[in-house]
A and B are shown apart, each in its own frame.
Chain A
Amino acid sequence: MIKCPFCGTTHVANTLFCSECGTYLLEDDRRGTDPLGTDEIGWVGEGEDEHGSSPLVKGTGPLSIRLKIGDQERKVEASLEKAIHMGRLDPASDVFPEIDLTKDNGLEKGVSRRHARILKREGTVVVEDLGSINGTFINGKRLAPYLPEVLHQGDQLQLGKLLIEIELL
């Protein structure tokens, strides 16, 4: 017999999903994102718009983006032709982000499976939080979920506690 870590229902051995709450029961490393304390993340507060620029600026803008991720400063370059999803790879939940942050200690740093995405909109580059648990920040300012904000050269992007430096190419 095995027990669901989420709701406590017991199931026969080898059961893969809890019939009561739908939890995947084979997550030996407890891959769920645990909420971190807000003070740990360095939350500054909403409402202070430092840039004030509208995302609806015409023009071609940058073609690709370079990210410097985490303490190890892992460098990733990605084309802005399509939206770039960031999060933790999890085939079980059908999540396949373009930029998988598992290797960058994503789990410990509070990165959600579907955390945020970067895309081009009307010539500017914007980042959108996808309803992540621990939030997405630009230069310390927390984004409202599903509300895209413009990214600028050298901006400090933060997913949960994971720092990412932005370079537009």
Chain B
Amino acid sequence: MNADKNYYDILRIAPNATEEEVRKAYRALVREYHPDVNQTVEAAEIFRDIQEAYETLSSPDQRRAYNRLREAEGFDKSSALTLRGTVSHKYLLTNIEEQALYVLLDITPATDLPTARLPLNLCLVLDKSTSMQGMRLQQVKEGTRQIIDRLNDDDALGLVIFSDRAEVVLPSQTNIDKAMAKSIASTIQPSGGTEMLQGLLAGLKELERNRSTESVNHLILLTDGQTYGDEKDCLERAEWAGLHQISLTTMGVGSDWNENLLDQMATVSGGSSVYIDSPRKIVDAFKSTIRHLSSVVARELTLSINAASGITLTEAFQITPHIRRLDVQANKAVLGPLGTGHEKTILMEFRVQSESTASKKRLLRLTIEGDVPNKQDRRNWEWLDIFTEFISKQEHPPEIPPALVTALGKLAIFKMQEKAMTDLEQGRISAATQRLETMATRLLNLGETDLARAALLEAGRLARTGDLSAEGRKKIRYGTRALSILPKEIRRD
């Protein structure tokens, strides 16, 4: 046993591989490197390593001892993250100009990770403009009370309400007197217009009071109206927040708010935006946000994609928790926080230049880095290598893993929606109409009848009036991105 060698790497398996996987990996490698098959000096060395790795990892006792030894020597550090990759094509053909390859990456917190809840540093920034009057404001108050009930002593909460100006009704504090906080929430009275920037600035200022690198710093912004003239500043502040470990959940109620702005504000800060079509869903939105925040175990996740020569990334998307396009800069993409029960799935599409001879090749190394406050060594990283084999002739049609096909099918609809919106922005009304109609057909095939109906309705409206309704726009946008999570009655495995 030699702790300097990474036996898992040698066998090309994950550290959490099962005994069966160890055995399989070993057999496959023996077929490749056995001296009877491969007589090069290099192969002989690799073969020795393979033997050694298998001897250790195939015995549970020895494997445990080896893991302990590795950890003691500072290798591996029993990572906080688990990665699993699924490749669309196990084999690629030689002598084709160019071919597509898809990789699905699942990122989950390691099962042995301490799940102690991180302290929250939370600020609610709530729109109290006149349009919030009635059911909307009533539900916001109820949602706020529910959040207060779910706070621990070391959590900090601040409460800001805004209309034409902002007002801090509860300065950010820990050890909250819950009864007092709830009564403050109950006294909010509707008045005035919507000036979001004022609320955002006051909210961020409150968060500063209790911001630390140990806590989950988060701002929930809820509005039901358009803000005028301060969009650019709002976005800048959201970006600033993202750079200071503050993420934003932006919530829009009804249909009269700017989804582009709220969406972007959430994205640049590493948070997410929520469409609330009916006031009845406000409380649920609040509850699910606090649940999500309470489950965070890793923060500031980034993905690095290192591709071998001849391979280029064309597009990358987050599939779960909801579909969104990833902005990949210099081979890196920001993924935001990771919670238990909110595993992230990333889908990447590559173009591969074919090799001229049959061979096995490592195509990619995918690395995830993140800050895990519950681990002693907070900076954590984990990587995964993706291999493929170039062959000259394919006997059978390729078997594409169903998980990948399902994800791609939903992504295809999301992309169609993106394209329809671009068409519309650039004045290509009939192209946009047609796309919405095609989209409706695909949605029907998936059994998404409600969303299909909305798409058809909007296609009709578009053809007649040249524009979409504010409500339809939001329904389609938020509906398609949620395709990956909707639990369907017909879906069973």
**A residues in contact (CB < 8 Å) with B:** 11-19, 21-22, 24, 26, 28, 83, 85, 91-97, 113-114, 130-131, 146
Contacts and interface: CB of A to CB of B under 8 A. Distances in A.
A142 B200 CA distance: 58
Interface stretch (B68-76, B144-152, B176-184, B440-448): B440-448
Interface of B: 88-89, 92-93, 96-102, 351, 397-398, 400, 402, 404-406, 408-409, 411-413, 415-416, 438-439, 442, 444-447, 449, 488-493
Contacts of A12: 97-100, 351
5 contacts: A19-B415, A22-B412, A22-B413, A91-B406, A114-B445
A114 B447 contact: yes
Nearest to B403: A91
Contacts of B405: 16, 24, 91-92
Looking at chain A's contact residues, is the secondary structure mostly helix, strand, loop, or mixed?
loop
Contacts of A18: 412
Looking at chain B's contact residues, is the secondary structure mostly helix, strand, loop, or mixed?
mixed
A146 B450 CA distance: 12
Contacts of B444: 114, 131
Contact of B438 (A17, A21, A26): A21
B84 to A, nearest CB: 19
Contacts of A146: 449
A14 B92 contact: yes
A146 B492 CA distance: 22
Contacts of A92: 402, 405-406, 409
Contacts, number: 87
Given A26-B400, A95-B490, A17 B412 contact: yes
The interface centre, meaning the residue of B98, B413, B447, B488 with most chain A CB atoms within 10 A of its CB, is B447
B398 to A, nearest CB: 8
B100 A96 contact: no
Contact of B492 (A11, A26, A93, A96): A96
Contacts of B404: 16
A114 B491 CA distance: 12
A31 B93 CA distance: 25
Contacts of B449: 131, 146
Contacts of A21: 416, 438
Contacts of A130: 447
Given A22-B415, A94-B446, 20 more contacts: A12-B351, A13-B93, A13-B97, A14-B89, A14-B99, A14-B100, A16-B408, A17-B408, A18-B412, A21-B438, A22-B412, A22-B439, A83-B489, A92-B406, A95-B445, A96-B492, A97-B490, A113-B445, A114-B447, A131-B444
A15 B100 contact: yes
A-B interface, 8 closest residue pairs, ranked by CB to CB distance from nearest: A22-B412, A13-B99, A14-B99, A17-B412, A91-B402, A14-B100, A15-B100, A92-B405
A28 B402 contact: no
B102 A16 contact: yes
Contact of B445 (A15, A26, A93): A93
A28 B397 contact: yes
B261 to A, nearest CB: 28
A92 B97 CA distance: 27
Contacts of A114: 444-445, 447, 490
Contact of A94 (B93, B97, B406): B406
Given A22-B438, A93-B445, A94-B488, A16 B100 contact: yes
A96 B89 contact: no
Nearest to A131: B444
A22 B448 CA distance: 15
A25 B299 CA distance: 38
A96 B415 CA distance: 24
